[in-house]
Amino acid sequence: MSLYFCLRETADIAAFISGTDALPQESIPASEALGRVLGQNVYAPFPCPACNRSTRDGYAVRSADVAGARPENPVLLRLAGECRMGAMCSKALHAGEAWRVYTGSDVPEGADEVVMQEDAAPAGPPPAWSISATAIAVYRPGAAGQHMLTRGADLPQGELLAQAGTKLGAHHLALLAQFFRHLPVHRRPVLGVLATGDEFCPPTPATAVAAGQCNTNALLLQALATTLGARCQHLGTVPDNIDVLHKHLRAALPDGPTPCDVVVVVGGSSGGKRDFSAQAIAALPGCRLYGHDQRVSSGRPLTIARVGQTSVWGLPGHPLSLALAAQVFLAPLLQKLGGQQAAPGFINPAPSVLARLGLALPVEGTAPAHYPVMLRRGHGRLTAWPVPAGTGKTAVLRDMHGWITMPGCPDAAAGTAKSGLRRGAAIRVRLFA
């Protein structure tokens, strides 16, 4: 048994998560798509800009007309019109003409340059400048294409704007909203949380709060679901009664009144005579049990099953076990359901930091193991300390910042493996959401 708390990953769990399919797509307003995941590749339906556009306040001209312009010898052009912001400019510019343009306004057909207003001025003495100037004087030459974007120069028609599986941030929406009012995104997963335990079903809620017995595990899972873009459905808190537990589970199945995509039963997963989670899950109609009594950490078993398209998990009620299992197993499952890429390299990874290991950590099994760690900063560096095994203190939730993963060793089963991580080794710590 490890001296430090760890969560061991099994082949059953990895296969269960990798076999999960993304939820169906739906079309929603772009203004409501922040944090949602695109269901398909999105391409530009038209070029951007759609017409030649000015990038400066000034005058649209033909570069050939102003090639010889100098401060001491300006070129005079007839001011033929004005291209206003937000209005299409369908007119054409001819030789010897100039059109007044503004930053972001269209440029008339025939113009291939914009002269900045600082390099030109209305021709003639004041006060005619401010009344009805009919000509401008250009004092500097330019070059074709200067201070303007041609049609499609930013994004040509058909250009890929965002890939399927992209979790939409503010910068994505700023781009996509130029082209679309609605976006195709995957439906948000619904995580159902069913807590168990007589200790959480006291006669009066006030007494429970005073005694410190409120079920914080449900709040932990709700916060994780919200962080990952999923919705949380509280299925209630039930006593240690297999019939009551089974009834609540049935309600969360696809044909029930509160259907969920993932159901987590918290607690009742050990081997005690009043631990019924595994039995109640296995008794669900059409249940396919993928893993039962999966001892992912010392003495804390885990159950995984699927009923139709609904994933059902039995997780331990120990806060530390639940917090780590939720981050390591539930987070990638909810990401896959929400449409993020199936390959592990494409799933949005948890934020991470580099640290030094505070003590030597041996490889103790063939399966990967995840160790929760506490981060401490001292002497100019960050040190990660694994949590001691057997801790039952909730204060560890305050001190625990993330986790590290130790790959398994095939030779560990034969007892020949001596490898591991030495004290001071550089490691990557994935931070809790």
Whole-angstrom CA distances from 390 to 213, 252, 320, 423 are 21, 33, 10, 22
Record the pTM. Answer: 0.78
Positive or negative: CA dihedral 298, 217, 306, 239:
positive
Task: Name beta bridge partners: 82.
Answer: 100
C-alpha 139/C-alpha 7 separation (Å) is: 74
145 has a pLDDT exceeding 80: yes
Average pLDDT in the 172-188 region? 96
Q: Has residue 168 got a pLDDT over 60?
A: yes
Query: Which run of H or of E encompasses 427?
Result: strand 426-431
> pLDDT, tens digit, for every residue of 317-326?
878 888 888 9
Tens-digit pLDDT profile for residues 381-397? 999 999 887 666 677 77
The reported pLDDT for the residue numbered 66 is 94
pLDDT at residue 217 above 80? Answer: yes
Grouping H, G, I as helix, E, B as strand and the rest as coil, residue 293 is strand
Q: Please answer whether residues 336 and 349 qualify as being in contact, where contact means their C-beta atoms are separated by less than 8 angstroms.
A: no
What span, in angstroms and rounded, lies between the C-alpha atoms of 430 and 289? 30
pLDDT at residue 133 in the model: 64
Rounded-to-integer distance, Cα 432 and Cα 321, Å: 13
Tell me the pLDDT tens digit for each residue of 85-102: 888 888 899 999 999 999
pLDDT (tens digit per residue) in 15-42: 888 888 999 999 999 999 999 999 999 9
CATH superfamily for 10-24+187-338 is: MoaB/Mog-like domain (3.40.980.10)
Residue 279 has pLDDT above 80, yes or no: yes
The boundaries of every CATH 3.40.980.10 domain in the chain are 10-24+187-338
Record: fold of 53-149? Molybdopterin biosynthesis moeA protein; domain 3 (2.170.190)
**Main-chain phi, psi angles of 226, to 5 degrees:** -65, -40
Instruction: Look at residue 241 in the predicted model and tell me its pLDDT.
Output: 82
Q: Taking a C-beta distance cutoff of 8 angstroms, is the pair 305, 293 a contact?
A: no
The average pLDDT across 161-176 equals: 93
- Percent of the chain at pLDDT > 70 equals 84
Strand partners, 99: 60, 81
Mean pLDDT is lowest, of 64-73, 163-172, 295-304, for 295-304
Rounded CA gap, 211 and 395, in Å? Answer: 17
Q: Model confidence at 211, in pLDDT bands (50, 70, 90)? A: very low
The mean pLDDT of the chain is 84
What does the pLDDT average to over 264-278? 69
Q: How far is CA 73 from the centre of its chain?
A: 59
State CA 330 to chain mean position distance. 15
pLDDT confidence of residue 212: 40
pLDDT band at residue 408 under the 50/70/90 scheme: confident
What backbone torsions phi and psi does residue 184 show, to the nearest 5 degrees? -85, 115
Identify the band that residue 213 occupies on the pLDDT scale cut at 50, 70 and 90: very low
For 199, residues 6+ apart whose C-beta sits below 8 A from its C-beta are 213
What residue ranges of the chain are covered by domains with CATH 2.170.190.11?
A: 53-149
Write down the H helix ranges in 287-385. 319-325, 331-337
Lowest pLDDT segment from 4-13, 309-318, 326-335, 412-421: 412-421
List the alpha helices (DSSP H) in 83-239.
129-132, 170-176, 205-210, 216-227
Q: pLDDT tens digit string along 31-72?
A: 999 999 999 999 999 999 889 999 999 999 999 999 999 999
- What integer pLDDT is reported at residue 404 of this predicted model? 93
For domain 352-431, the question of CATH label 1.10.3210.10 is answered with: no
Each residue's pLDDT tens digit, 346-378: 445 678 999 999 998 887 777 788 999 999 998
